[in-house]
Amino acid sequence: MRIKVALGIWLLGITLAWMAVAPAEMGVSPLVNAQGAALGWWQLRQHTIYVSGLWSISLMALIMLLALRLPLLDRLMGGMDQVYRLHKWTGIAAALTAIAHWGAKESSGLIKSFWGRAGKPEHDAVIPWLTDARGFAKDLGEWAFYLLIAMVVLTLIARLLPYKHWRLLHRAMPLLFLALAFHAVALMPLTFWALPLGVIMAPLLALGSLAALWSLAGWVGRLRSHAARIHSITVLGDVATGVEAGAPIEVICAMPPSWRGHRAGQFAFVRFDAAEGAHPFTIASAPNALGNSPEGEQLLRLVIKPLGDYTRTLQRQLRAGQRVDIEGPYGRFDGEGSRRRQQVWVAAGVGVTPFLALLEARQPGIVPADRDAAPVHMHYCTPHAQRDPLMARLQDLCAQAQPPVQLTVHCGAQGQRLQPQDLQVGSAPLDIWFCGPQGLGDALHQHARGPSRWRLHRESFVMR
């Protein structure tokens, strides 16, 4: 909802600014005059090209800014996963508006074949020193548009390209933005640079271009990156069947003095290997819960499940003492909702990691204990409760939590599938904190939108 509202306000703002500089008489009516000239159609085409182009390039500039992982945006959107969702939906909106822009441009053949060229407006004057670049700017824009659409298709139909390759391609997106920003600057009518549109578009294109260059230089998150080292690694569960059984590894990281701590439930981008790049992992320990290393470095825990190509290699590759770059912390998944609502935590699979940190923060002796925290009912969905390497730890943490956390386990092997309606006990509306697979999250979301009056806080583990 917040994302739709943000995008709606953005597009409305650009439309109003465009209307302020557009000609008072749009000239679209009649579409075809008594002499058979399609003056109105040509004008309509022209206005559509301009407004859809402005929508599209402004959305792309927003995408570039969102990709910077700015702490301010993290705060405004209620979590970095939400910033990424906005980034994704802005990408889709930019592609749809770019299709409208391209479609309007291509409509000239159709208009000509029905009504002829009569009434087609002359080219608008553009920034004088870019007049000669019109042809190049048009071609560049067209090719960048095709690549943009291909990228959006590859993003939405995930099975077409493995994440690893998709991510490499995606890193080239700032280049497309720079090409499209040039297209926009070279072809935008001179009159559009006047107030108020020019005052919006000029800084937006400049900031978007700076953000694109920042991304291309590989500096995203640089100011929040900390050179840590691996303190220890443990395979959780049965080492003999380890990887096949999908056993997670626990990586304890020793943080440098530059690390200013985190809050329970936050995550970080972790880079074990410069060639691979950073992967997001939850910090699965409460602040100060693990104490310090003998060298005085603050310790924190990651619990990593071998879910994909890269994470499957980590058990073999990681060594104690190895350098690890940790960027963050990010996120606002604090498990603390309204006092008037019943607090329910729902974890499934590796989605249990933020709850490990939240539970640890409720253990006696962990400083500072949050006296205002409310009692919680936690539901944990696991494929096999008896073989789950985190089960015993989770049960202990829940049993000792202050304020209390009541645990209900849903074991897949015993056919105990969690249904959204199972969560409602009593009549108080629920505050649900969910982390787990997309499907279960969507089912909870559907239910929360109904008459149940639930509030769903969701940590999304999918960034594509």
> Of 13-21, 93-101, 227-235, 301-309, which part binds ligand FAD (CB under 6 A)?
301-309
Query: Smallest gap, in angstroms, from Cβ of residue 247 to ligand FAD?
Result: 11
Query: Smallest gap, in angstroms, from Cβ of residue 368 to ligand FAD?
Result: 24
Instruction: Give the list of residues 6+ apart from residue 69 with CB closer than 8 angstroms, or none.
Output: 80, 83, 220, 221, 224, 269, 327, 330
Give the tokens for residue 376.
Answer: 């919680």
Binders in 378-437 for ligand FAD, by CB under 6 A: none
Does 461 interact with ligand FAD (rule: CB under 6 A)?
yes
Residue 274 one-letter amino acid: A
Query: Smallest gap, in angstroms, from Cβ of residue 2 to ligand FAD?
Result: 18
Closer CB to ligand FAD, 119 or 306, in the complex: 306
Does 360 interact with ligand FAD (rule: CB under 6 A)?
no
Beta bridge partners of 299: 254
Give the tokens for residue 44.
Answer: 């309509």
- Number of helices (H) and strands (E) in the chain: give both, helices first: 12, 11
Instruction: Give the list of residues 6+ apart from residue 256 with CB closer than 8 angstroms, or none.
Output: 226, 227, 228, 297
Query: Smallest gap, in angstroms, from Cβ of residue 111 to ligand FAD?
Result: 44
d(CA 154, CA 169): 10
Binders in 306-345 for ligand FAD, by CB under 6 A: 307-311
Q: Which of 10, 163, 193, 214 binds ligand FAD (CB under 6 A)?
A: 163
Size, binding site for ligand FAD by CB under 6 A: 24
| Phi and psi angles of residue 235, each rounded to the nearest 5 degrees, phi first | -85, 125
- The backbone region for 127, taken as left when phi is positive above 0, alpha when psi lies in -120 to 50, beta otherwise, is beta
d(CA 171, CA 151): 11
Query: Smallest gap, in angstroms, from Cβ of residue 303 to ligand FAD?
Result: 6
Closer CB to ligand FAD, 53 or 221, in the complex: 221
HSE of 258, CA atoms in CB hemisphere, 13 A: 12
Closest residue to ligand FAD, Cβ-based?
308
Does 281 interact with ligand FAD (rule: CB under 6 A)?
yes
Does 75 interact with ligand FAD (rule: CB under 6 A)?
no
Given a contact cutoff of 8 angstroms between Cβ atoms, the answer to whether 315 and 244 are in contact is no
Does 267 interact with ligand FAD (rule: CB under 6 A)?
yes
Query: Smallest gap, in angstroms, from Cβ of residue 279 to ligand FAD?
Result: 4
Query: Smallest gap, in angstroms, from Cβ of residue 270 to ligand FAD?
Result: 9
Closer CB to ligand FAD, 311 or 416, in the complex: 311
Closer CB to ligand FAD, 163 or 193, in the complex: 163
Place of tokens 């859809």: 52
- The backbone region for 218, taken as left when phi is positive above 0, alpha when psi lies in -120 to 50, beta otherwise, is left
Q: What angle do CA 149, 311, 410 make, to 5 degrees?
A: 95
Residue 341 host element (H or E):
none
d(CA 11, CA 20): 14
Q: Which of 305, 379, 447, 457 binds ligand FAD (CB under 6 A)?
A: 305
Q: Which of 78, 246, 280, 404 binds ligand FAD (CB under 6 A)?
A: 280
Beta bridge partners of 382: 411
Closer CB to ligand FAD, 304 or 423, in the complex: 304
Query: Smallest gap, in angstroms, from Cβ of residue 441 to ligand FAD?
Result: 12
Q: Which residues bind ligand FAD (CB under 6 A)?
A: 81, 163-164, 267, 277, 279-282, 284, 303-305, 307-311, 350, 353, 461-464
